[in-house]
Amino acid sequence: MSTVPPPAAPKTAVVAGASSGIGAAGARALAAAGYEVHLIARREPELRDLAAAIGGSYTVADLSVAADVERAIAALPEAVGVAVYAAGSLQVSTVAEHPIELWEQMIAVNLTGAFLFARGIIPKLTAGSRLIFVSSQTGGKGLPGQSAYAASKAGVDRLAESLQRELEPAGIYVHELVPGPAATPMLDLPGTSPFQLDAEQVADVLMFLAQLPPDVFIRRIQVRAPLAGPFARPRH
């Protein structure tokens, strides 16, 4: 019995949170694979330089602001093959000393921004498209001083899981890429594990998800640097 092959997703990609770290590395990897890449973040100089380097386009937007997200998504092509939410904010405070402003800022960027981006991008996705959230292993295991970050990333996990059940009937897949510590500016903090992935290594896994066959789905991938053995190497 013959079967009709699943449709191939368009070779267009959007990366939210693309001005540095995993988002920027993912954008470079997507462009190298032949995708037309659109970048979204708050910092225009970094976006402009990256867009020029990869032959992409960009929109400056605060991803925690609904009107900004709507404006940024309106600038995208009609069909998006790969959509990545890699924006993130991490600042450290104990719960007892946690300013409410700091809590709200991290929830806004990490969780509300992920929701706003997902809600806005859905009409641009088609059968074969993939929506990838860059989460964190902290979402499954809280750490001292990281209550807001852990809570926001746990929220992203449940958002992605719920959204997958909504979109899979249309042939759209929602993935979580869950890295351990990675050598990015956000994790340049005292007490961070010295065993860290490079942003480019995380981007390699992102590309694995982006280029899965259209009839293959992996919901969640956890990755980290080895802590022992011949490939373990501290980054500090």
Domain locations along the chain: 12-223
Q: Determine the Cα–Cα distance for residues 175 and 178; give it in Å rounded to an integer.
A: 10
* Phi, psi of 222, deg, nearest 5: -105, 135
Find the DSSP H helices in the chain.
Answer: 21-32, 44-54, 66-74, 100-107, 113-121, 147-167, 199-210
The phi-psi region of residue 95 (left if phi > 0; otherwise alpha if psi is between -120 and 50; otherwise beta) is: alpha
**Whole-number Å distance between alpha carbons of 25 and 47:** 12
| Terminal C-alpha separation, the chain | 57
Among 150, 140, 136, CA closest to 95? 150
- Architecture of the 12-223 domain: 3-Layer(aba) Sandwich (3.40)
CA dihedral 21, 23, 29, 35 (to 10 degrees): -160
Distances 136 to 41, 78, 181 between C-alpha atoms, Å? 19, 30, 8
The 10s digit of each residue's pLDDT in 5-29 is 566 778 999 999 999 999 999 999 9
Q: What's the pLDDT tens digit per position in 112-139?
A: 999 999 999 999 999 999 999 999 877 6
Catalytically annotated residues? 149, 153
pLDDT confidence band for 185 (50 / 70 / 90): low
Of 213, 139, 148, the closest CA to residue 178 belongs to 139
Q: Write a three-state SS string for 27-94.
A: HHHHHHCCCEEEEEECCHHHHHHHHHHHCCEEEECCCCCHHHHHHHHHCCCCCEEEEEECCCCCCCEC
Q: What is the pLDDT of residue 121?
A: 97
Cα 112 from Cα 105, distance rounded (Å): 10
Burial, 26: exposed, middle or buried (Cβ in 10 Å; 0-12, 13-18, 19+)?
Answer: buried
Looking at the predicted structure, is the pLDDT value of residue 2 above 50? Answer: no
Q: Is the pTM higher than 0.75? A: yes
DSSP 182: E
Considering just the CA atoms, what is the radius of gyration of the chain in Å? 17
Identity at 216, one-letter amino acid code: V
pLDDT tens profile 50-65:
999 999 999 999 999 9
With a pLDDT cut of 90, the percent of the chain lying above it is 64
Higher-confidence position of 73 and 77: 73
116-125, 150-159, 171-180, 224-233: range with lowest mean pLDDT: 224-233
Q: What is the pLDDT of residues 186-224, one digit of tens each?
A: 556 555 666 678 899 999 999 999 999 988 999 999 988
What pLDDT was estimated at residue 235? 65
